[in-house]
A and B are shown apart, each in its own frame.
Chain A
């Protein structure tokens, strides 16, 4: 299990290495990417900030929960902070498991819980020069592990 908050670009290959295991028949990789439009407004970049020490602690807790749910230790997540441009990767989740079902479940659990619980905020920069804090991005569609 591995989790980290980074200021540098996420190295996806290295993250995949962390969940590599000859017992695994499936690896699921989720990448969160900065896109160029949100709520109909043209976005030129996003600044991510965090309550860093708590974010690290909360991320570590989430991957422990995901590992318990999916019965695998091969869970890794990284979230990047700072100024990101369109197309940059802000978050990466990798899960390895003998079978794909549990790997998908665990990856989904990590990203959904991250969006609900980890104290990270983003400020969008718009084409018209203005900036705004994004209110909340958690979706309630799927909650593989139930509420806390």
Chain B
């Protein structure tokens, strides 16, 4: 199944893209997506346990994904 991954700020720089489609196995979790995305960039440029949002809400890394989910990897926020 496909999920959309969004990358922002330093994470987008690390991977060189701000959005990508990933094909993951049914039952895949947020952790699986993080692992796949980290493999796309230089080792260590994306932390092993970033904050994540699924469909615009903060989610834990064991969250099971559904087809079409939007998974955003959230660098430490710095608004204000």
Contact = CB atoms under 8 A, between A and B. Distances in A.
Q: Bin chain A's interface residue count.
A: 20 to 34
17 contacts: A32-B80, A49-B8, A50-B79, A54-B57, A54-B72, A115-B77, A115-B80, A116-B77, A120-B78, A120-B80, A121-B10, A122-B78, A122-B79, A136-B77, A136-B78, A137-B79, A137-B80
Interface string B1-43: 0000010111001000000000000000000000000000000
Contacts of B13: 133
A114 B57 CA distance: 15
B15 to A, nearest CB: 14
Contacts of B48: none
A121 B9 contact: yes
Interface in B32-80: 53, 56-58, 72, 74-80
Nearest to A61: B57
B79 A133 contact: no
Contacts of B57: 54, 57
Contacts of A123: 9
Interface of A: 32, 48-51, 53-55, 57, 79, 90-91, 111, 114-123, 133-138
Contacts of A57: 56-57
A50 B77 CA distance: 9
A45 B9 CA distance: 16
Nearest to B58: A117
Nearest to B8: A51
B8 A91 contact: no
A51 B80 contact: no
A55 B80 CA distance: 12
Contacts of A48: 79
Nearest to A138: B77
B6, B9, B10, B53 pick with most chain A CB within 10 angstroms: B9
Contacts of B58: 117
